[in-house]
Structures are given as structure tokens and as C-alpha cells.
Chain A
Amino acid sequence: MTPSPAGAARPVPFRKILIANRGEIACRIIRTLREMGIASVSIHHAVEARARHVREADEAVEIAGETPVAAHLDIARIIEAARRTGADAIHPGYGFLSENARFARAVTEAGLVFIGPDADAIALMGDKISARQFAEEHGVPVAPSVMPTEDLPDFLKRAAGIGFPLLIKAAAGGGGKGMSIVRSAAELEGAARLASSEAQRYFGDGRVYAELFVERPRHIEVQVLGDGKGGAIHLFERECSVQRRFQKIIEEAPAANLSPALRDEICASAARLAAAAGYRNAGTVEYILGADGRFFFLEMNTRLQVEHPVTEMITGLDLVRLQIEIAAGHGLPMHQDEVTAHGHAIECRICAEDPARDFLPETGTVLHLDVPRAPHLRFENALDRGQRVTADFDPMLAKLVAHGPDRASATQRSIEALRELALLGVKTNVDYLARVLEHPAFAAGELHTGFVAEHRNALAAPELDRQTADRALIAAALGMREFHSLVFDVPEPHASIGPWRN
């Protein structure tokens, strides 16, 4: 891991930190703690007692729970574990309790440091309505909308003011009833009347709602750091438009084909939002970006993000270290104009799932793991050979992150690493990810959140060619005892001239 630039490490008052998480992110946090000379405490449910995050930590505490996930959500027991082991602080990772305001408050009340924002900031950003309102008040664009109304003339006037295309929905809606996309002012009144009458018929509530419809939207997010005293900087953007089942599978930094002016505008608005909120910690402001260059606030994640390594790779910063330093009261590591980016980084999320079956989760046992290694690669994981992959936790198994001097080389390096990676025993999306990266539309940076659906056919696994099939069959057969003996057990008449080999 690259050490924090901006000079030497800043001493922190923590001797021991409990990680309220598991899997790859717990292992990644342990790595930084070790570099900082801070002892680590892992927590685990009984089913994961031998997991890597447990073995790699200096200490581990078992948390009882009806299900493994319930154990990782048990605020009282986790804080008790921190107290009992003498930890000074708790790092929540991502997921689980990382954006739980109650947890952040309970940690602080227990006299421990929560490595994250204060509970009020989590609560503000955790509520979509209050977050949207706050963003709007601080000059961060939100998608224009017309709130539910039965006053049709007023609705039409305000809807036309937003512009087109517009999405009209029944306020009480669901299932696509009373929903339509309006592309011009001429269609507006008819569509609104139809939506309203359908809404009345289906839901007994004729109120309709409209919002700007963003076609081929891109997901752009900005990494921010706040000191909790009104100071905030951004560490550039990431693009996470390649998604399936509404979850990201490929993320990159910087975003492709983003004009410098638009990038600056988006990044500056994120830093402004974090500063206005008096935000403390690393955080991510997410936006939706339309093809016309308009961008709108989506939400703010008040924690470390799964895809934070791509930002680390282009900036050379260690975000976990910065989180800890900020929690210790050190403030921001540098001024905005000192933050620099080099090259391009791409992260592929490797999941136990079957792309051919709508990405449904898969289970199995890791029979073999062979990971490509290179200075430009990071393989974030907590996998062990023989480990069972169950439905107990999230299907994400690992993250492969590749850096290159430019986007094309980062893409090529990712493809090569995916091809080389051997994770056998559970079906994964590894080959699918390589096909996405090989697609001409990805190379051209023509990304939007419907990418996976748009290119569904082109991204399907190609038919196995005869040559590869034959080689696979021969390679498989020679590993099987029965075939091996057919080859090597010399029949009687030949026994006198000795075995075939040696």
C-alpha cells in the first residue's frame, strides 16, 4: 500500500481498533492498521471462526447471533467486544453498521471513537428527503420534479417548466400503472390526463407526480474528505455505471469522456456539500449524469466505499489511514490544489453468481485459487482454499483492481488479470467481467446504467470452440485416475519392454 503523501504519518492516539466488519474489507483495514502500528480486533460469528479476517487480526471476538448477519448487526455486543478487548476506536468498514446513526452514537457514548462521521451527519444523509433538501439548499443540483397534485393546470405549467423528457407517475403508483414518458410539450397534457385517470381507476387517487427522465444515465460519484469543522476536499470522481441488479460491478477512476469543466463542476459541488454539512470522515457523493451534461445529486454515502481502491490507485493515498487520522482530529491531509491524480484505475467486483441466469447468487467451495500478481494489481479478498461460499453473506468474493498509465492500458491489464485469475469451485462472473471490458462500447467509454441490459446478447458467453473443448477434455482426463491408468498401465504384451515413460 502506498503511504500517505503530504509527508510522514501523523501519530494517532489509538493503540487498538476493533473492525466491525468481515471479509475483504476487514482484511484491507487490518493491513493499514498494521502499517500504522495499531493492533486490530476482528469480530465473527461461529460459522466464520476460521475466516481470514479472524486469523489476520491480532485478536478476535466471537459474536453470538441467530444468523451470521445478525451477529454483525448486534450493536450492544460489538461495543461490549471493543470494551472487553480494550479497543480505543471502531472502524465500521462498509455495509453492516457503517451507516447506522444509532451505532455511531452508541460507540461515542461508550467512550470510544467512531471512525466515521458523527451520528447527526449519518442521519441527515441517510434520509433521502432531508439529504435532497440539504443538497438543493447548498446549490447542488437535484433532479427537478413536480410534487403530487390534483390541480392539473398547475401541474402542467410546472411540469413544462422542467423540460423534456419527463417521467409522469401516479403518486400512489406501482407496477407501471399510470406511468409514461413524455418527450414534448404537445404530449404533456394528454399524458398527464391519462396518468391521472389511470391513477384514479387503479389506486383511487388521481394525483400525479413528474420528474425529469434522465436517458442513458451515468453513475458518477465523488470521493470527499471532511474534517468535521467545515473543511472538505475532493479526491476526484469515480464512474460506476456498469451495474447489474442495481449494483455496481465495474468501477473506474477517472470517469471516461468527462470534460474537465464538467468534472470540476461535479467534484466542486461534492466538496461544497461535505463542507456545508460539517462532514467528518471519508465520504462519497453520488450523482446521476445525463447525456446532455446535466447532473443531479443522488445520495451521499457516509462511509468508506467498496470501490475506494480505484481512487487510492490514482491518488496514491490510503483512505483508511486518512479516515483514522481524521478521526484522531488531525484534519485534512492536504489542500485541494495538492491533490493529484495519475493514470487510470479499474475495479472489477468478483461475485459468486451466474451471469447466464440473471446473475443469481451461486454457492460452492473454493477448490483452487491462483491470483495474478503485479505491481499494478490489487486483489482484495479474504478467500481460502476449501472455504465454503454460502448464502450467509454478500456474494461479492473479491475485487480485482488494475492501474495503468491510461484507460486503455488499465482495461487491458484488467482483462489479462481476469483471464489469468483461477478461482475454481464456485461459479463466478470473472469471464463475464472480461467480456464487458473487451466490448467496444466499454473501450469507447459509452457507459450508462443500462449497459448490461443493452449489450445482453453481445455479453453472453460465446460458444466453446472445438479446439478449447478438446484441450480441456484432454487436460481433464489426464487428471482422472481411470484415464491415467488407461494411458500408463501398460498392457501385458508390452510389459517386457518396460513402461512407456522412464
Chain B
Amino acid sequence: MPFKLAIDGKPHSLTILARRPQLVVAVDGRRHVVETVDAAGDGRRALTIDGAETGFVRAETVEGALLRIDGRTIEVRRLDAATEASAAGSGAHLVRAPMPGIVISIHKTAGDSVRRGETVITIESMKLQMKLDAPRDGEIAEIGIREGEGFEKDAVLARLAAPASEG
């Protein structure tokens, strides 16, 4: 069964083709020979991939890992069956804060039905007001914040109920 990861929302699948004598991994069908595989754990590490030594720095996150590799920082997220289903399905269930700020007004309460693009919450951030819209048609399951409250970037401010079809 392939192992699924995503970079910038783009899914990739890793399949182990061989474990011995060397680890061979296919990434989206591209074959790579991997040596020095004791590269678990965070921090500065090195792997030999296709004969070339690759140094990198890794930090584990809740969603996956952050990597500093080839002079750039890359965020890799785990794609499990559930998140994949919601990504492929009718869009996210969550209304997330795009940046830190405070809530100016809340336009919906739990149980309200919303149309995609309808404003759920108005926030203020960087002295600018911004409307946060429902990502899809559905029903508000929960509003996770009150007017006047502050939040960090990526905080979940509201959640939509999962559509019945997704079970």
C-alpha cells in the first residue's frame, strides 16, 4: 500500500519496491535507491539517494514534517485516508484563520445552513477587516470562538458538519 504525503497541497505517493540489499522507494513511480537510512529523528541528517549524499534538517510537526533541503524550506504533510477524502471531496470542513487577529463579528451560529462563499466570521488582522467564508455548502457544526477574541494563524474558527454521503 503506498504511503501518501503532500507538498503544497499536491499529493505524492511513496511505494517501497525493495528493502534489501538496499532500500528502493518509488515516488510517484520514480525509482530511488536510498542508503544510510538511519536518518530518523529531528535535526541535521544525511541520506544517500541515488548515490548522492543529501544533507537536510528536519523537524517533525503535527501534520508531517518541515525540511530544510537544497537551500529551501519544504513543508511535507501526511495524507491519511480521512484528510484525502475531504481534500478530494467537497472541500475542507474548516474555516481557518489566514493570519493572526481578532474576531469582529460572527454571522452564523451552530445549526445554520450556509452556502459556499457566504460569510461566516469577520476578523480584523493587520488593521484590515477580512471576511471568512464557508468553504462549501453545508451546515455549521461549531463556532469555536467568540466576538472580540484573538487567535493565531491557522486556528480553526468554525467547522462545517460532514456531509452525510461521506459517512
Q: Which residues of A contact B (CB under 8 A)?
A: 360-364, 367-368, 370, 390-391, 418-420, 422, 424-425, 428, 430-431, 434, 461, 464, 466, 468-480, 482-484, 486-487, 490, 500-501
Contact = CB atoms under 8 A, between A and B. Distances in A.
Contacts of B145: none
Contact of A479 (B19, B41, B44, B71): B41
B161 interface: no
A14 to B, nearest CB: 39
* Residue among A368, A370, A420, A479 with the highest chain B CB neighbour number at 10 A: A479
B93 interface: no
* Residue among A368, A419, A478 with the highest chain B CB neighbour number at 10 A: A478
Contact of A424 (B37, B40, B57): B57
Given A468-B72, A472-B69, A478 B37 contact: yes
B57 A470 contact: no
Contact of B72 (A390, A431, A482): A431
A390 B100 contact: yes
Given A475-B47, A486-B3, A487-B19, A434 B70 contact: no
Given A425-B66, A466-B30, A430 B73 contact: yes
Interface stretch (B6-14, B83-91, B113-121, B133-141): B6-14
B152 interface: yes
Contacts of B5: 473, 476-477
B56 A475 contact: yes
B144 interface: no
B110 interface: no
B73 A473 contact: no
Query: Interface range on chain B: under 10, 10 to 19, 20 to 34, or 35 or more?
Result: 35 or more
Closest 6 CB pairs of A and B: A419-B71, A367-B59, A476-B76, A422-B57, A422-B68, A424-B59
A490 B23 CA distance: 13
Contacts of A500: 19-20
A361 B71 CA distance: 22
Interface string B18-34: 01100101011010101
A368 to B, nearest CB: 4
Nearest to B61: A367
Contacts of B59: 367-368, 424-425
Nearest to B43: A368
Given A480-B65, A487-B37, A368 B42 contact: yes
Contacts of A466: 30
Nearest to B27: A470
Contact of B58 (A363, A475, A486): A475
Given A391-B100, A475-B69, A480-B65, A368 B27 contact: no
* Residue among B32, B47, B71 with the highest chain A CB neighbour number at 10 A: B71
Contacts of B126: 360-361
Contacts of A468: 69-70, 72, 74
B126 to A, nearest CB: 6
A425 B7 CA distance: 16
B7 A469 contact: yes
Nearest to B153: A363
Contacts of A480: 60, 64-65, 78
Contacts of B76: 472-473, 476
Contact of B152 (A363, A430, A473, A501): A363
B131 interface: no
A486 B16 contact: yes
B95 to A, nearest CB: 18
Contacts of A420: 71
B57 A471 contact: no
Given A363-B100, A477-B5, A471 B54 contact: yes
10 contacts: A367-B42, A390-B100, A461-B72, A471-B56, A475-B39, A475-B47, A476-B5, A476-B76, A477-B14, A501-B38
B42 A473 contact: no
Contact of B12 (A360, A391, A469, A487): A469
Contacts of A390: 100, 152
A470 to B, nearest CB: 4
A477 B41 CA distance: 11
Contact of B39 (A364, A478, A482): A478
Contacts of A425: 59, 61, 66
Contacts of A418: 71
A479 B37 contact: no
Given A370-B68, A469-B74, 14 more contacts: A362-B153, A364-B153, A368-B42, A391-B100, A424-B57, A424-B59, A430-B73, A469-B27, A472-B67, A477-B3, A479-B65, A480-B60, A480-B64, A484-B40
Contacts of A364: 153
B79 to A, nearest CB: 11
A419 B153 CA distance: 26
A479 B100 contact: no
Contact of A472 (B41, B43, B74): B74
A475 B45 contact: yes
A472 B64 CA distance: 12
Contacts of A483: 3, 14
B71 A474 contact: no
Contacts of A477: 3, 5, 14, 25
A385 to B, nearest CB: 9
Nearest to B26: A470
B56 to A, nearest CB: 5
B156 interface: no
A471 B69 contact: yes
A360 B44 CA distance: 29
Nearest to B14: A477
B7 A424 contact: no
A501 to B, nearest CB: 8
